[in-house]
Structure 1
């Protein structure tokens, strides 16, 4: 009995334990199912606000600037050539590459011996011609006197003939005497004809003498010109280039010795498109005398010269497009013919346009403006000009609007934004930001100074200015970057 009782008790406890485990498993299952069947809590979504840079559109009058690239050249460039062949006997000290000469200065002299001998012969021929003319004049005077004497003889013989006839009429003269007188008159008349022929020959001799004298004078003038051609003088003040001759050298006729360039008469030639060319015309279709600025970048110090548009090319040119324009430069110090420069031309003023950043417009010519609810609205605009990083636009309702300065793919109509005000377009144009300054190590500063001092192509004014900047404790970063880019560092 005792064994049976213990067995039943163990079976009871085992059954109770299994029941509790089943009940606990059911509770866990129900809890998991209840958890899985619950819906997640709904969170209230908040609208995202973007921070944007905006500029205030202020329409007004703007002067667009047209940018082109051109080459500096001289309006007066003369090729110095030898007019006569020979040996170069003398050269001026300034007759070297880059030599400065003044107007009328003797630059070179070619051996004048042959030209001088020809001049002496021409002078002798002229003296002979003058002597011949004087002798012809005297011969004409003598011939005219002889003609007068012959005519006087005719008059006397006619008087003698008339006396003989009167004697015959009175019966006291002889017929033979009359005939003799008639023969004498006839002989005197023949003498007059001979003297007239002599006068005509004397007059012809004078004409020939005058012709010979003129010919001798022309020959003398040519001889003097040939002698003068042995001297080469400067036609105007300027600078010599392409010098190819030395003292003692043998030159041929028309051989180029050098080029004379007037550095005080510089101009810039550049090419613009046809569309840009039309913007530079006035109401009558003529080229305006628009202000022009030519800029040459020289190691951070830009050489600049101002001028005005002067003329345009007569033809487009084979294989070319657009128009070739020329502008006179005033006080172009530091510029040389052949310099490649940036040319900016002021166009005619445009009214009622706003200056905005170029990043504010899209391909559809729309800008985004911020309304009163701080939301973006697209506004169509008319694109008038592109000016570097800016644009000139015109639109109704644009005055005073806050325009997004930089468009991104995240920005669009209806987006709520937080504007960050920046300068207006006109203020950004007028304000020049200060250059970033760098502190240089002594080694780096010495390397930059050595490069600038050893660059012979740099103008003296630019070298002095840059060395002064490099000598300061802090140097503009633009100057350092420009020099190091040319050093290859």
Structure 2
């Protein structure tokens, strides 16, 4: 803004700051210092910056401090330990049958508990098939058997008569033979004619033929007796078969268990060998699990057999864990090529149908491993790569090589270059190594 002023009495006339009238078109003169004001401001600012730079405090870097890691440690304590093996398996039925119809017919009745998931006691009714045709077959077989037995009595009576007739014919033969001998002696003395002797000899011959005929008749009647006895046996088999078919019209539970896979209902006609249902024995639930080659080998080497070993079965249902006692009864017939282990079966000690456990449940199995002597139990986190653990000595880490004897659900069992009461690092961190400074908390 120019330093000039307008005359109030004569508008349009201007004065400079010294009240000197300005000519038209003449610009007022500025003070000299104002022309150099920006330069002075910049120079002052530069000088101020220079002063500040010269008078600023100097930062002296401190020497680097060695980092101390806060860690946890466990004491070395030697002990004899028998850990538990932890494996997982599946509940399977130790005995399961697929009930099928052994006769055909319409289902007239089903049991009260014959339904999916039903609990059946031994000898409870499952299904009743229409027995009419099988009752008729039984009665007919029984009548045929009675007829056969009556026929046998008749044949035996004839055989007895033939035997009696044979005895009589033999007696007559003896008499006629004596008569012939007497006639021969008389003929030699000239007391009777030769014709009489010949007649007596003919009578003996005829009687011998009669004896032979009677003997043949006895043999024939005895054969008929044996044939009829065989016929009776066949009829008895037919009767038993008819009675069995009749009994098969009533299907009952062979043991106490759970019903599943129901495939028959009242009013349905079942065919021969048609499926009725599946029945699982409630008192023979088992757990099937796999032991690795190493686990199986350790137990075999220590005790010679896995069977008979007690185990605990843990079934986790939501937040609840239900435990059952079990005993290993047998091992699989083959080694699994897929898993490289051995299948084992442990029988559960359940409370029959009162147990909530069912086949198909996924369970945890714990069984005692072999016993290890003078080993050191440590957490899993104490072990670093290549079998190394770190011992805390004078606040620094020292590397020690150890051998892992076994892994347990609670950690590891090791042996090696460790002394009693030494402190072993159990906190894992990437910078762990020999010489690293640590502090226990």
TM-score, normalised with respect to structure 1: 0.73
Partner of 1:381: 402
**1:163-204 deviation per Cα after TM superposition (whole angstroms, max 9, x unaligned):** 444444444433333332222222222211211111111121
Partner of 1:20: none
In the alignment, is residue 292 of structure 1 matched against residue 314 of structure 2?
no
The more displaced of 239-248 and 352-361 is: 352-361
Partner of 2:85: 66
Partner of 1:370: 392
Structure 1 residues 363 and 166, CA gap change in structure 2 (3 angstroms): closer
Contact 2:119/2:259, CA 8 A, preserved across alignment: yes
Whole-angstrom CA distance in 2 between matches of 1:95 and 1:408: 62
Contact 1:303/1:334, CA 8 A, preserved across alignment: no
Partner of 2:420: 399
Residue 301 of structure 1 and its aligned partner are, at CA, apart by: 0.8
Contact 2:336/2:342, CA 8 A, preserved across alignment: no
User: Which residue among 416, 419, 441 is the counterpart of 2:437?
Assistant: 416
Structure 1 residues 391 and 165, CA gap change in structure 2 (3 angstroms): closer
Partner of 2:105: 86
Root-mean-square deviation over aligned CA pairs: 2.7
Structure 1 residues 96 and 284, CA gap change in structure 2 (3 angstroms): same
Residue 277 of structure 1 and its aligned partner are, at CA, apart by: 2.3
Structure 1 gaps of 5+ residues are 1-24, 421-489
Whole-angstrom CA distance in 2 between matches of 1:310 and 1:162: 89
Whole-angstrom CA distance in 2 between matches of 1:99 and 1:45: 77
1:72-471 matches, within 5 Å, as 72-283=91-302, 285-287=304-306, 289-317=308-336, 319-331=338-350, 333-371=355-393, 373-388=394-409, 390-420=411-441
Structure 1 residues 306 and 153, CA gap change in structure 2 (3 angstroms): closer
Contact 2:315/2:321, CA 8 A, preserved across alignment: yes
Structure 1 residues 185 and 289, CA gap change in structure 2 (3 angstroms): closer
Structure 2 gaps of 5+ residues are 1-46
Residue aligned with 1:154, SS:
helix
Whole-angstrom CA distance in 2 between matches of 1:404 and 1:80: 62
Residue 82 of structure 1 and its aligned partner are, at CA, apart by: 0.4
Structure 1 residues 301 and 187, CA gap change in structure 2 (3 angstroms): same
Whole-angstrom CA distance in 2 between matches of 1:92 and 1:351: 60
Whole-angstrom CA distance in 2 between matches of 1:40 and 1:93: 94
TM-score, normalised with respect to structure 2: 0.80
Residue 48 of structure 1 and its aligned partner are, at CA, apart by: 4.0
Whole-angstrom CA distance in 2 between matches of 1:96 and 1:374: 71
Query: Is the radius of gyration larger for structure 1 or structure 2?
Result: 2
Structure 1 residues 355 and 161, CA gap change in structure 2 (3 angstroms): closer
Contact 1:100/1:237, CA 8 A, preserved across alignment: yes
Whole-angstrom CA distance in 1 between matches of 2:270 and 2:114: 16
The more displaced of 95-104 and 248-257 is: 95-104
Contact 1:280/1:288, CA 8 A, preserved across alignment: no
Partner of 1:52: 71
Whole-angstrom CA distance in 2 between matches of 1:326 and 1:395: 36
Partner of 2:38: none
Residue 320 of structure 1 and its aligned partner are, at CA, apart by: 4.9
Contact 2:314/2:364, CA 8 A, preserved across alignment: yes
Whole-angstrom CA distance in 2 between matches of 1:43 and 1:162: 160
Partner of 2:39: none
Structure 1 residues 362 and 317, CA gap change in structure 2 (3 angstroms): closer
Whole-angstrom CA distance in 2 between matches of 1:380 and 1:165: 128
The more displaced of 169-178 and 343-352 is: 169-178
Q: Which has the higher strand share?
A: 2
How many residues end up aligned between the 2 structures?
A: 388
Whole-angstrom CA distance in 2 between matches of 1:392 and 1:336: 36
Whole-angstrom CA distance in 2 between matches of 1:245 and 1:59: 65
